[in-house]
Structures are given as structure tokens and as C-alpha cells.
């Protein structure tokens, strides 16, 4: 499933949690994930409210210990206990991002950072709760419109600071943002950290079959617009198209030549090219060369097949191809650029980039691939 967010008035952890619960994330499953951390003295409930005429869900979080300050390591340790594992990984990623940013701002080791406004136990409820809600909804991709930033000042433990707060701005690095005439804080550090931990892509609404839409209510009220976060849930919409498969069967072409032909076909615009083993007349071992392409590219690719293999003919037939949306990003793995292809259900590092980085770093392929995926999550 895909979630598309529209943070027209900003974003916070409780607004995001409220929107996801409004979309149908089971409250009991979210509570169970929070309970699995060992956190005590807290409660999470939902309340339907009206915000300037819009029906919205408010995530009501209460904790017995309302101390706003804690070491980041304490919160990270709690979040790491959450079940299932993907929920813990996302929550820990968000909290580690906050610790890194606070450490950089105050020139301290992230492991020793003392968190102030986000040091309360409600931060565990927000981060683990959002991760659990996404997991319960089977969300594999989060997209968002630009995040709206307010202006003016915000009061915190270090005094009155410009809004957005310095930590929030650092956490939003790489995000698409837009300014608005809204006074004060519209994006909280927890909300900004979750944006990164979710791997949010800033796009218009992606190609999907639209399902439910819900609104998460914020605590503040602005005279200019309703303080709600819109979240829409949808399933990836596949695209079906008619394509052509060109084939020939050969028994006198070496494996090296066939590999070269496949590479040439892909470079020349084939959507895919591959070989499969076959047995010809008189039990001769052979290979079938297959080329998947558009009708516009068929003539040119057929010529490549004829010239490179020496075959005396090809056959062709039309097929229906269903393709899911995908895109590619690039991450840094210890100084080496690795492309990662993202689909609705998984992300996969490009083998050639992984192999080149593994060779340069002296690491196993699997290790480099895992580092690339970790960089995507971070």
C-alpha cells in the first residue's frame, strides 16, 4: 500500500499517528507494539474532533512520567525492543536522527546527547506508534507534498529560537518544503525525524487506486487554515501495455556471443532480453534468445539479433506487460555511489554498483547491499 501525505499546515508525530489511525490502523496493534518496548505509565486513545469544519482524528497520548528531558540513548534502547522488528528499526532510525542532529548542534557525542523537548516518553509512543501503524496498514511507500514551514519564533529549553527550530531544519535536510504565513512552529522535530525514517518521497500523488483518506488533528489552531494533516491510502496502480517478444532458436552460437547479444539488445532499447535452454532436432542442445520490446523498437532490435547470431529467421508475438511504478535514487556507501531501485513492495541496490563498491572496499557483496539499504532507511 501507498500513503500520500499533504502537510499543508505542517506535521508532528501525533498528527501523523492520528492520520494513520484514522486510515484504519488497528489501535490495539499499535498499542501492542508500544507495550513490547517495556514502556509503562502511558496511554493512547483516539478522539474524533472537528477542526474548522473538517472531521479529524486526534491521537491522545498521556504518560505518567511527564519529564521532558532524557538521554537519547534511553529512548533508543526502549524503541529497539519494539516488535515486530521493522517497527523497531523505523522508530530507532527516527530517534537516532534526532540524537545525531542534537549532537551536531551542541558538539556532543550523539550517544551522550540530553534531549529536551523530545525527551519525553510520549516521543516513544509517537515514533513506535507511527511505525506500528504503517506496518499494520502494509504501507511500503510514503509520498508527500511539500511540508509547510511557519515563521517567527519558538520557545524551547535553550530560550526563544527562530521557527523552524534549528534541529527541525537539520532533520528536514533533503525534504521538499514551502513557506506560509503561519506564526510559530508547524513542524516538530519528531515529525521531521519520522519523515526521514519513513523514506518519504516528495512527489505529487503517485499512480495508485485511491482508498481511504483521513485527517490527523494538531494541537494548535491557526486562523489562516485548519491544522490537520491529510493522509490518503491507496494500492499501487499497475500499467498494462502491449509489447512484442522477438525470439530465435540457435544451436551454433557460443555462450560468450549470446551474452554479448543480450547486452547489445539492452543497450539498444530492449525492455528485457534473456536466453533459455532448449533441445532441437536430433537432440542437439540449443538456446532460445528472447527480446521484449515495444513495437516501435522491434525492427531495429530484430536487426541486432539477425546480425549478431547469424540466425536465418525470427518469430514474434504480442504480449501484455503489467508494470508497477518504480524510481531510482543514489546513496553513498563509504564514499561510493550506489543506485537503488524502489518499487511499491521493496528496494534493491543495483548489482553493478554494489559489485564495484565491494571490490573497492574489500567487502562482501551482501555487506555492501545491506549498507546501501541501511542508507536508504536513514
- Over range 232-236, report the average pLDDT: 91
Among 169, 190, 196, 168, CA closest to 118: 190
Mind listing the pLDDT tens digit for each residue in 93-127? 999 888 888 877 666 666 666 554 554 788 889 99
Cell digits for 303? 536487426
Kindly report the length of the chain.
378
Threshold 0.85, pTM exceeds: no
Q: Among positive and negative, which fits the CA dihedral 49, 52, 55, 61? A: negative
Reduce the DSSP state of residue 58 to 3 states and report it: strand
Q: What domains does the chain contain, in order, with CATH numbers?
A: 2-236 (no CATH), 239-323 (3.30.70.1380), 327-377 (no CATH)
What cell does 135 get? Answer: 506496518
- Sequence-separated (6 or more) residues with CB below 8 Å from residue 265: 273, 291, 301, 304, 305
Kindly state the percentage of the chain with pLDDT values over 90.
59
Whether pLDDT at 355 is above 60: yes
pLDDT digits (tens, 9 = 90+) for 6-24: 999 989 999 999 999 999 9
- Does the pLDDT of residue 154 top 80, yes or no? no
Amino acid at each position: 500500500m501507498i500513503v500520500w501525505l499533504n502537510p499543508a499546515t505542517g506535521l508532528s508525530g501525533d498528527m501523523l499517528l492520528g492520520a494513520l489511525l484514522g486510515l484504519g490502523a488497528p489501535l490495539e496493534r499499535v498499542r501492542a507494539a508500544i507495550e513490547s518496548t517495556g514502556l509503562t505509565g502511558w496511554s493512547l486513545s483516539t478522539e474524533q474532533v472537528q477542526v474548522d469544519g473538517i472531521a479529524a482524528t486526534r491521537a491522545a497520548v498521556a504518560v505518567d512520567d511527564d519529564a521532558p528531558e532524557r538521554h537519547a540513548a534511553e529512548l533508543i534502547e526502549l524503541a529497539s525492543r519494539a516488535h515486530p522488528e521493522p517497527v523497531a528499526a523505523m522508530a530507532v532510525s527516527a530517534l537516532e536522527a534526532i540524537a545525531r542532529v542534537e549532537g551536531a548542534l551542541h558538539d556532543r557525542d550523539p550517544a551522550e546527547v540530553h534531549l529536551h523537548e523530545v525527551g519525553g516518553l510520549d516521543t516513544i509512543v509517537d515514533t513506535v506508534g507511527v511505525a506500528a501503524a504503517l506496518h499494520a496498514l502494509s504501507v511500503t511507500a510514503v509520498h508527500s507534498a511539500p511540508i509547510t514551514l511557519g515563521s517567527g519564533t519558538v520557545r524551547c529549553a535553550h530560550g526563544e529560537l527562530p521557527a523552524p527550530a534549528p534541529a527541525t531544519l537539520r532533520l528536514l535536510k533533503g525534504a521538499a518544503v514551502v513557506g506560509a504565513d503561519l506564526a510559530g512552529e508547524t513542524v516538530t522535530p519528531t515529525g521531521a525525524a519520522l519523515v526521514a525514517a519513513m523514506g518519504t518521497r516528495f512527489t505529487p500523488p503517485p499512480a495508485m487506486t485511491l482508498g481511504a483518506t483521513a485527517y490527523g488533528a494538531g494541537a494548535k489552531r491557526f486562523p489562516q487554515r485548519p491544522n490537520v494533516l491529510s493522509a490518503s491510502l491507496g494500492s499501487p496502480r499497475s500499467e498494462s501495455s502491449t509489447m512484442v517478444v522477438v525470439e530465435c532458436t540457435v544451436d551454433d552460437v557460443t555462450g560468450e556471443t549470446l551474452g554479448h547479444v543480450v547486452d547489445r539488445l539492452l543497450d539498444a532499447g530492449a525492455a528485457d532480453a534473456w536466453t533459455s535452454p532448449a533441445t532441437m532436432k536430433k537432440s542437439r542442445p540449443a538456446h532460445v534468445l528472447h527480446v521484449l520490446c515495444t513495437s516501435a523498437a522491434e525492427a531495429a532490435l530484430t536487426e541486432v539479433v539477425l546480425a549478431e547470431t547469424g540466425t536465418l529467421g525470427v518469430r514474434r508475438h504480442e504480449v501484455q506487460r503489467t508494470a508497477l511504478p518504480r524510481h531510482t535514487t543514489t546513496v553513498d556507501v563509504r564514499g561510493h555511489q550506489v543506485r537503488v531501485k524502489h518499487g511499491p513492495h521493496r528496494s534493491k541496490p543495483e548489482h553493478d554498483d554494489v559489485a564495484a563498491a565491494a571490490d573497492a572496499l574489500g567487502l562482501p557483496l551482501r555487506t555492501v547491499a545491506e549498507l546501501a539499504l541501511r542508507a536508504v532507511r536513514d
